[in-house]
Amino acid sequence: MRVKKEEAQSIFEKLQIKFRSKKHNYGWFRYEGRPILPVYFSHGKGDMPGKVGDKFWQSFKINEDQFRALRDCPLSREGYAEVLKEKKLI
């Protein structure tokens, strides 16, 4: 799946992931103050190449349809946390 860098940044904002910028934009999805999942994406412009985009959305531990919902806004931060609870990751 192709993922644009702007979409990745938007997802980071939606999930309230504070990232630091080094070689990659790197951060943790936190729930109730605890770090749950590490996520990152590389600097640069344009789309993430195929496998990089796939690794990015898979790092959220959700399927492709759920990732599309997260990217396109029907899935909120709270909804994402519920998905992770169902998967026993929280």
Backbone angles phi, psi at 4, to 5 degrees: -85, 150
Q: What is the pLDDT of residue 41?
A: 75
Tokens of 76: 């909120």
Tell me the residue range of the domain where 38 lies: 3-86
Q: What percent of the chain has pLDDT over 90?
A: 44
The CA distance from 40 to 58, in Å, is 11
Q: What is the pLDDT of residues 8-49, one digit of tens each?
A: 888 889 999 887 766 667 789 999 999 999 887 776 667 777
pTM, rounded to two decimals = 0.81
60 contacts 39 by C-beta, under 8 angstroms:
yes
> Residue 43: which CATH number?
3.30.920
Q: What is the pLDDT of residue 44?
A: 66
Q: Number of folded domains in the chain? A: 1
Lowest mean pLDDT among 3-7, 12-16, 60-64: 3-7
